[in-house]
Amino acid sequence: MTVGETTSERGRTVRGLLNSMEGIRGHPLLVVGGLMLAVCMLAVLFPGALAPHDPLRSDIGNRLAPPFWYPDGSMEYPLGTDGLGRDLLSRMIYSARISFTIGVAGAAVSAVVGVAVGLVAGYFGGFLDTVLMRLTDIQLAFPSTLLAIALLTVVTPSVISIGLVLAVTLWVWHARTIRGMVLSIRESPFVLGARALGASNGRIMRKYITPFVLGQVLVFGIIQVAIIIQLETGLSYLGLGIRPPVPSWGNMLAENREYLTTVPWVAIFPGLAVIFAVLGLSLFSEGMREILGRRL
Amino acid sequence: MGRYVLNRLLQLILVLFGVSIAIFLILRVIPGDPAALMLPIDAPREQVEHLREVLGLKEPLHVQYLTFISNALRGDLGDSFRWKIPATELVLSRLPATLQLTVAAMAWAVVLSLIMGVLAGARQGSLVDRFVLALNSLIQATPSFWFGLVLIIVFALRWKALPAMGRGNIEHVLMPSFTLSLVLIPTLALTIRTNLHQILHEDFVRTARAKGLSEGVVLLKHATAPLLISLITILGMQFGRLLGGAFIIEVVFAWPGIGDLTLQAIRARDYTVVQAVTLIVSGVFVLVNLFVDLSYAFIDPRVRLSRGGR
């Protein structure tokens, strides 16, 4: 057994997370957020089983039907229909898959890039650190929505490209945080010990530093999924996101803009879906942060 | 102090230089021909070729950049294809509307966050505190532009109390700026809450209490100055998010600012204007941050005296 293995145990925050799963009852945020996420995941994985209708089929005879609690509403279309007579509920359910795919893909790319930059900058320091941190300065000097808009005007919007563009605007936050953490771990006894025993830079980064920052990356990554879902909604509203007829919460809001004056629900429901998903994600990550300890 | 300012100015130039390269590359290097992007999809081949010539796209990349940057330094960011006037002029004519919106939003945000942050921070763990926390989670989860739509439905369409669109007198500013302030409120309110909690446990506050001062006087006299510093810092850091939010909210309320202009430019494939907006807005953003850093250094001597000040 080496010095590093015993002391780096402290840093294995992911395992610590799993160990503390038994004490889940003391963490209402995690439970509530988790349940909300579970509902979202059902919609992401089995939209066909949940949605009462085909999201693309339009029932022209039933355009702008009201939700079921209105006098002339019916359970046929529980939340009513849009201007083309498509079922709102079904479209909202199918949108979940699009939004979460973009969110998770974007957050993953952002995490990989951000963590790599943060690790390298924090660990090696010096000139490399200066160059990388100036890069993040430049990135931060760009308002991220504006950057996304500028990029999406030249890139054809698809699930992949939108995810990538939003990752480009978000990796900096990982890079900065991770660099800060690495700076504080770099000189800690267990890393110094490992180095004294002759561990290579690569090994130290992999075995001693990465596990330490993983918890933070996870917490942050989940929040970024939420941020990306919100950004995507806004971009879709501007017509820069997912293109119709494929439903997304944002483009549903945009498509139904003209009916705002007469049938407000078409503009209200998709927004509620976004709030539900984002709230679920942020409560869950807040709960995880609690479990991982105030140290983060 | 002089050295600190100089240092920050050098950094600013470096950052703006980087931003200009980034904007330049976004247009040139990303797959797709900018000339083809700017013209209608069915434009004849010769027209595309001609535009490539006019835009200087046949030159080597570094020559193109030098032309671009030397023109940009003289304030020339090219002419708008759609409006046939210099893009710089177009953007600057819309800038006041956007700044009015963002400043009004900041005012809402500061007032509302102070109320919430102080109420919650003064007694952490209380019922009020929990309510403020829950409310802010909700605000954070709400897409602000969607909330704008809801406001329009309620205040403009149902109650007919406020105008739904456009820019005119003070009534026009109320809804869009309130909507935009939601982008800022959670971050601001929660930071004020945390900071106040910390401040209230500082030695100087304990001393003030020991002197027998009332809780209200302690809050007003001893907690205000440190709170202001963090308030200014966050406002500066969040300015970019506020501008980004303004882009979408301007579209919702048909507010004739930069966001509205950008969207029209995008629809018209007027890339010169999009490029000008990006560069000018980044410039404004960087300047605001410089100003914040300097005012921060002005208020807090520790920043001024530390080497380099980063």
Distances (CA, A) of A192 to A11, A136, A198, A214, A255: 15, 28, 10, 20, 59
Residue B100: pLDDT band with limits 50, 70, 90: very high
**Mind giving me the DSSP string for A14-39?**
HHHHHHGGGGGGG-HHHHHHHHHHHH
pLDDT at A275: 95
* Minimal CA separation from B190 to chain A, in Å: 14
B187 has a pLDDT exceeding 50: yes
- Both tokens of B224, joined, read 């205000």
CA–CA min distance A250, chain B (Å): 9
Smallest CA–CA separation between A198 and chain B, in Å? 34
Contact yes or no for A282 and B285 at CB 8 A: no
Residue numbers in A near B150 (CB within 8 A) = 267-268, 271
Per-residue confidence at A5, pLDDT binned at 50, 70, 90?
A: very low
Out of A138, A234, A278, name the one closest to residue B19 (CB).
A138
Contact flag B143-A134 (C-beta cutoff 8 Å)? no
User: Has the ipTM of the complex gone over 0.85?
Assistant: no
Whether residues B244 and A144 touch (CB distance < 8 A) is answered with yes
Q: Say what the pLDDT of residue A210 is.
A: 84
Segment A188-217 shows an average pLDDT of: 86
Residue B27: per-residue pLDDT: 67
Most confident segment among A61-70, A137-146, B103-112: B103-112
pLDDT band with cut points at 50, 70 and 90 for residue A293 = low
- What are φ and ψ of residue B79, in 5° steps? -95, 145
Mean pLDDT of chain A: 83
Query: What residues of B are in contact with residue A256 (Cβ under 8 Å)?
Result: none
Phi, psi of A203 (to 5 degrees): -65, -40
What pLDDT does residue A104 have?
95
What number of other Cβ atoms are within 10 A of residue B45's Cβ? Answer: 7
The residue among B233, B240, B255, B115 whose CA lies nearest residue B179 is B255
Residues of B in contact with A261 (CB under 8 A): 157
B153, B248, B274 ranked by CB distance to A238: nearest: B248
- The beta-strand segments (E) located in B30-158 are none
Task: Indicate the residue type of B62.
Answer: H
Q: Do B16 and A150 touch (CB under 8 A)?
A: no
Residues of chain A in contact with residue B282, where contact means CB-CB under 8 angstroms, are: 141-143, 146
How far apart CA A275 and CA A10 sit, in angstroms, is: 36
Tokens 């974007």, residue? A106
- Buried b / exposed e along A242-261 (16+ C-beta atoms within 10 A): beeeebbbbbbbbbbbebbe
pLDDT given at position B161: 81
pLDDT at residue B157, as a whole number: 83
CA dihedral B46, B49, B54, B56 (to 10 degrees): -170
Class of residue A262 by CB neighbours under 10 A (exposed 0-12, middle 13-18, buried 19+): exposed
For residue A70, what are the CA distances in angstroms to A66, A155, A219, A265, B32?
A: 6, 43, 42, 11, 50
Mean pLDDT of chain B: 82
Residues B25-38, mean pLDDT to the nearest whole number: 67
Question: Is B143 in Cβ contact with A233 (below 8 Å)?
Answer: yes
How much is the pLDDT for B31? 57
- Identify which of A151, A264, A267 has the shortest CB distance to residue B26: A151
For A123-127, A214-218, B47-51, which range has the lowest pLDDT when averaged over its residues? Answer: B47-51
For residues B57-77, average pLDDT:
82
Give the residue among B125, B109, B295, B118 at the shortest CA–CA distance from B220: B118
Average pLDDT value for residue range B256-270: 84
pLDDT given for residue A221 in this prediction:
93
Phi, psi of B214 (to 5 degrees): -75, 160
pLDDT for A296 equals 42
By a Cβ cutoff of 8 Å, what residues of chain A touch chain B? 134-135, 137-138, 140-147, 149-151, 153-155, 226, 230, 233-234, 237-240, 253, 260-261, 264, 267-268, 270-271, 274-275, 278-279, 282-283, 286
Position A48 pLDDT exceeds 90: no
Q: pLDDT band at A280, cuts 50/70/90?
A: very high
A-B contacts (CB, under 8 Å): 137
Q: Do B26 and A234 touch (CB under 8 A)?
A: no
- The pLDDT confidence band at residue A8, using thresholds 50, 70 and 90, is very low
* C-alpha Rg value of chain B to the nearest Å: 24
pLDDT tier at A190, thresholds 50, 70, 90: confident
In a 13 Å sphere around the CA of B112, the CA atoms on its Cβ side amount to 21
The predicted model gives B85-97 an average pLDDT of 91
Give the amino acid at B210.
Answer: A
B55 contact partners, CB below 8 Å, separation of at least 6: B34, B35
- State how far the Cα of B253 lies from the Cα of B265, in Å rounded to an integer: 17
Q: What is the pLDDT of residue A35?
A: 93
Record the pTM: 0.84
Q: What is the pLDDT confidence band of residue A11, given thresholds at 50, 70 and 90?
A: very low
d(CA A105, CA A107): 6
Rg (CA), chain A: 23
Residue from A154, A165, A227 to probe the interface with B (highest B Cβ count within 10 Å): A154
Locate tokens 């309110």: which residue?
B189
Lowest mean pLDDT among A5-19, A186-200, B62-76, B219-233: A5-19
For residue A15, the model assigns a pLDDT of 55
User: Which pLDDT belongs to residue A180?
Assistant: 87
Which residues in chain B touch residue A135, judged by CB atoms under 8 angstroms apart?
18
Alpha-carbon gap, residue A252 to A266, rounded angstroms: 8
Q: Which chain B residue shows the shortest CA-CA distance from A229?
A: B143
pLDDT in tens, A226-240: 999 999 999 998 888
